[in-house]
Amino acid sequence: MPHLGPTDSSRTPRFAGPASFARLPRLDEVGTADIVVAGVPFDAGVSYRPGARFGPAHVRESSRLLRPYHPALDVSPFEVAQVADAGDVAVNPFNIEEALETVEESALALTASGARLLTIGGDHTISLPLLRAAKQRHGEIALLHFDAHLDTWDTYFGADYTHGTPFRRAVEEGLLDTEALCHLGTRGPLYSKKDLEDDRRFGFGIVTAADIYHQGVVEVVDRVRQRIGDRPLYVSIDIDVLDPAHAPGTGTPEAGGMTSRELLEILRGLQGLNLVGADVVEVSPPYDHAEITGIAASHVAYDLVALLALRHEAEASIATDPEGPPA
């Protein structure tokens, strides 16, 4: 059975009709999918600018121009896998802990069939329940965390669950494989040097935005691949990892970030790794201009879907042919 792909843009113009991600079918139109895209419109965990609750709708609207063939990865992700948009998880905007439970339960339900999940946030708080679900499915998880910030702080105003604390909680809860953790793109001022010491103690390696500039994408990809190996990998992308010139519409912007080209090239370098799930978070449309941030986020999400589809295709071909895919 061929997979149901996006709406045909030669018959229905791209700007017409409802905005699902990449104009893909809804999950209820296809029943089950190999890759599920879901939104989590939640921003009750932010410390500065709000607005990420409108992120999923904005990224979908900004994804109308995505086309079905990915030339850099040589894959038609919507052909090799059934990809579908599951809509938004309805989370409580007034109770963070209840919201986290809802996200975890939804992630488990959406992956019960074996589907891989790409989540569009929402603020970064949501990565914690997504990692809890991923741990239950795959065991301890390797993490590549693209962000201007460490997000391993302890508390804000006494609150444990915020968009600046998810990865400290994740380490404390034993969700992560502490041999295979890396931040990429960090920069900007910290509270004190202790922030870095704590972070190192949790097991994180750091590739700063300056490292990416000085070493270049190829060397960075090489370092990262050695660290991750074939462990089950989760990729979490805070859109503020991009310079504000490439992503103005976000909650806590910092100068001196990577370009969208650098981010996409690093992602393409992850081809073949055992990617089990991913998120793109912190898109805040009220601060966006001309869809700059939305377009960056939609392309980043498309590359993640392509990586998930390639992994799905490789595993499906091993399942049907024990000799494995042709080299």
Identity of the amino acid at 82: Q
Q: Measured between alpha carbons, how far is 61 from 15 in angstroms, rounded to an integer?
A: 9
* Residue nearer to Mn ion on the CB measure, 78 or 234: 234
Encoding tokens for residue 251? 């909650």
d(CA 47, CA 251): 8
Token pair of 129, please?
């329940």
DSSP result, 3-70: PP-S--TTTS-TTSS---GGGPPBHHHHS--SEEEEEE---TT-SS---GGGHHHHHHHTTTT--S-B
Q: What CA–CA distances, in Å, run from 286 to 1, 55, 256, 289, 297?
A: 42, 9, 22, 8, 15
- For residue 123, the minimal CB distance to Mn ion (Å) is 8
CB of 280 to Mn ion, least distance (A): 11
H-assigned helices in 126-193: 127-138, 166-172
Residue closer to Mn ion, measured from CB, 70 or 163 = 163
Q: How far is the CB of 183 from Mn ion (least distance, A)?
A: 10
Closest distance to Mn ion from the beta carbon of 122 (Å): 11
Cα distance from N-terminal residue to C-terminal residue, the chain: 25
Nearest to Mn ion of 124, 187 (CB atom)? 124
What minimum distance in Å lies between the beta carbon of 241 and Mn ion?
8
Instruction: Please state, in angstroms and rounded to a whole number, the distance separating the CA atoms of residues 262 and 59.
Output: 20
Candidates 216, 221, 209; CA nearest to 273 is 221
Smaller CB separation from Mn ion, 238 or 243: 238
Asked if residues 133 and 140 have their Cβ atoms less than 8 Å apart, the reply is no
Strand order in the sheet with 233-238: 83-88, 35-40, 116-121, 275-281, 233-238, 141-146, 176-186, 204-208
Using CB under 5 A, list all residues that contact Mn ion: 124, 147, 151, 238
Work out how close the CB of 212 gets to Mn ion at its nearest, in angstroms, rounded to a whole number: 17
- Pairwise CA distance, residues 244 & 252, whole Å: 10
Decide whether 172 or 321 has the Cβ nearer to Mn ion: 172
Which lies closer to Mn ion via its Cβ, residue 183 or residue 231? Answer: 183
CB of 8 to Mn ion, least distance (A): 37
Residue 111 or 236 with smaller CB distance to Mn ion? 236
Q: Please report how close the Cβ of residue 192 comes to Mn ion at its closest, in angstroms.
A: 19
- CB nearer Mn ion, residue 45 or residue 77: 45
